[in-house]
Amino acid sequence: MGKITAICISEARGTAKREVAQATLLCDWGLEGDAHAGKWHRQVSLLAKENIDEFRARGADVAYGDFGENLVVEGLSPETAAVGTIFRCGQALLELTQIGKQCHGHCAIYERMGDCIMPREGVFCRVLRGGEIRPGDAIETVPRYIHRVAVITSSDSCAAGENTDESGPLAADICRRAGLEPVSCDVLPDDLDALSGRMRSICDSFAAELILTTGGTGFSPRDVTPEATAKIIERPTPGIPEAMRYYSLQKTPRAMLSRAAAGIRGKTLIVNLPGSPKAVEECLGSIMPALLHGLDIMVGADRRCAGERTEEKQK
């Protein structure tokens, strides 16, 4: 386990990075306020303090951030890790996407020293899960355990092809941006047996750690998603729908009409979401940080790797 020694950002490209006392890692973006953040694979750069100290010992007068690095880390050699390695710092998760880079023009450090360590010793990551970070925070590699999510839309009209399902794909996209892996998206009619049967199949085959349903949570006689969920779960988790209703009540009093339910069957958590895209985005966003933590606890992700998950699925 290592620690973060310095955090550096630059507000504009082509300007030197400067140290900051704290920063926010944004999912699938990078450090908030950093000009090099964005929707690409080199969202955050890391450089080992030990490599900077060695370069300084050769006579270089360099400050943290001069190499263009975002995070200076100590006690961890990120350049020796493999692409795909996951680093955790606090609640945030980074995935190593590239080691070193090609320099098309020599920087000021190279002009002074005839060398620069960033092209061969710097590593680049994308942000799988956001969070606040500060110098002194621990940073460590963790087993690659990315939770899988199955999305089920309950809608007679969408299942019949009369309307286009927007809520299901949106829920899958939100999960993808949060570091989850969408594995299926089903559109089913508002039928209790069809919904409960599909949920049971996903849970009992260990096809996903999370099932998100959209729609079918209101007062219509055909709204049976909560009943389908209750039919198969083994352990209710009422706090999740309660939290969504509380959050939504800040926006509309009609949120009290939601009958959404949630619960666990085996090693799969099922959560009912509303049917409208706007409500899906608001509700899922409000619970996502706690949801990720709960999934980690449910499957013991801190103690198991993806290989162990595969072995369990095969038993």
Do 264 and 310 sit in the same domain of this protein? yes
pLDDT at 257 over 50: yes
Residue 65: give its domain's CATH number. Answer: 2.40.33.20
Taking alpha carbons only, the member of 90, 128, 148, 105 closest to residue 268 is: 148
Do 172 and 255 sit in the same domain of this protein? yes
Query: What is the model's pLDDT at position 50?
Result: 95
Query: What are the backbone angles phi and psi of residue 178, rounded to the nearest 5°?
Result: -90, 0
pLDDT digits (tens, 9 = 90+) for 228-245: 999 999 999 999 999 999
Taking alpha carbons only, the member of 181, 100, 84, 179 closest to residue 141 is: 84
Higher pLDDT, 193 or 315: 193
Do 39 and 79 sit in the same domain of this protein? yes
**Residues β-bridged to residue 279:** none
The secondary structure of residue 256, as a DSSP letter, is G
Do 95 and 8 sit in the same domain of this protein? yes
pLDDT digits (tens, 9 = 90+) for 96-154: 988 887 665 556 665 565 667 777 888 999 898 889 999 999 999 987 667 899 999 99
Query: What is the model's pLDDT at position 60?
Result: 78
Beta strands 18-20 and 2-9: pairing type? antiparallel
Do 109 and 225 sit in the same domain of this protein? no
pLDDT at 197 over 50: yes
Cβ neighbours, 10 Å, residue 146: 16
pLDDT band at 170 (very low <50, low <70, confident <90, very high): very high
Cβ atoms of 21 and 135 within 8 Å: the answer is: yes
Taking alpha carbons only, the member of 171, 185, 184, 179 closest to residue 129 is: 179
DSSP helix, strand, coil percent of the chain (3-state; round to 5) = 35, 25, 40
Beta strands 148-154 and 181-188: pairing type? parallel
Query: What is the model's pLDDT at position 8?
Result: 97
Do 138 and 162 sit in the same domain of this protein? no
Domain that holds residue 42: 2-142
Q: How many domains does the structure of the chain reveal? A: 2
- Last residue within a domain, chosen from 142, 164, 182: 142
pLDDT digits (tens, 9 = 90+) for 25-62: 998 899 999 999 999 999 999 999 999 999 888 887 88
Do 174 and 283 sit in the same domain of this protein? yes
Query: What is the model's pLDDT at position 49?
Result: 96
Higher pLDDT, 98 or 186: 186
The stretch 261-280 carries a mean pLDDT of 96
Say what percent of the chain tops pLDDT 90.
Answer: 64
Cβ atoms of 244 and 261 within 8 Å: the answer is: no
The stretch 76-91 carries a mean pLDDT of 87
List all residues 6 or more positions away from 236 whose beta carbon is below 8 Å from its beta carbon: 230, 261, 262, 263
Query: What is the model's pLDDT at position 119?
Result: 75
Mean pLDDT, the chain, as a whole number? 89
**Residues β-bridged to residue 126:** 95
Strongest mean pLDDT among 86-90, 101-105, 165-169, 299-303: 165-169
Do 162 and 291 sit in the same domain of this protein? yes
Do 278 and 193 sit in the same domain of this protein? yes
Distances 224 to 29, 43, 68, 106 between C-alpha atoms, Å: 38, 43, 54, 64
Q: Which two tokens stand for residue 99?
A: 């080691």
Beta strands 210-214 and 148-154: pairing type? parallel
pLDDT at 271 over 60: yes
Do 132 and 85 sit in the same domain of this protein? yes
Query: What is the model's pLDDT at position 107?
Result: 64
**3-class SS of residue 63:** coil
- pTM for this entry: 0.58
Cβ atoms of 119 and 147 within 8 Å: the answer is: no
Do 68 and 208 sit in the same domain of this protein? no
- Last residue within a domain, chosen from 91, 114, 142: 142
Residues present in the chain in total: 315
Beta strands 30-31 and 23-26: pairing type? antiparallel
Residue 198: give its domain's CATH number. Answer: 3.40.980.10
- Last residue within a domain, chosen from 142, 164, 187: 142
Query: Helix axis angle, 192-204 relative to 225-232, nearest 10°?
Result: 40
Instruction: Compute the distance between CA of residue 257 and CA of residue 223 in angstroms, rounded to an integer.
Output: 12
Taking alpha carbons only, the member of 55, 44, 48, 41 closest to residue 10 is: 44
Do 178 and 58 sit in the same domain of this protein? no
